[in-house]
Structure formats: C-alpha cells, structure tokens
Amino acid sequence: MQKKVYYPVGSSQLLKATASDVVQLLQKAITDSTVIIEQYITLPTTGIILIYNATLNGNQTCAVKSNALVLGLKPQKIMD
C-alpha cells in the first residue's frame, strides 16, 4: 500500500521542504516503502497530514499529533 504525506495547497517553501524530509526519512525507515507527497485543499482522513496553524505561539514553533496508526505501525517503547 502506498503511503502519503500531505501538505496544504499554498504552503510555504518551509512546509513543502518538511514534507519532503518526512518522505525521505520514512522511505529509509520502512523497507521497500513507497511514500509520496500530495497537496490538499480538503483535509485528508488518512496518511501523514501537515497542517499550517497560525495560532501556535510562545516557544511552540510546531506541533505534532499522531494516532500512531497512520502507517499501520504499532507504537513501540523506545526508552524507559
């Protein structure tokens, strides 16, 4: 199954570059994976979805949320 990373139409070059970085890292991390980038107008319901949020403030320059099932991977404990 093809995996997708989405970013909003009209995004900055920084957000587009972030999507590209995510794709490269996923392809290295998941053997024989095919991960592609797509733009969206309507918020997708599956995949990795990058969302621009103008309400972030303070020291928070970005936020990451996940349901851990986006790629069909099981959450794993990395460190105690």
Which residue carries 């979805």 as its tokens?
49
Task: Please name the amino acid found at residue 77.
Answer: K
pLDDT tens, position by position, for the chain (80 residues)? 678 899 999 888 888 998 999 999 888 888 888 889 999 999 888 888 888 777 766 665 666 666 554 444 444 454 54
pTM above 0.85, yes or no: no
Task: Please name the amino acid found at residue 59.
Answer: N
Instruction: Report d(CA 52, CA 11) in Å as an integer.
Output: 8
Assess contact for 44 and 13: CB atoms under 8 A.
no
- Beta strand pairing call for 35-40 and 3-8: parallel
Assess contact for 50 and 19: CB atoms under 8 A.
yes
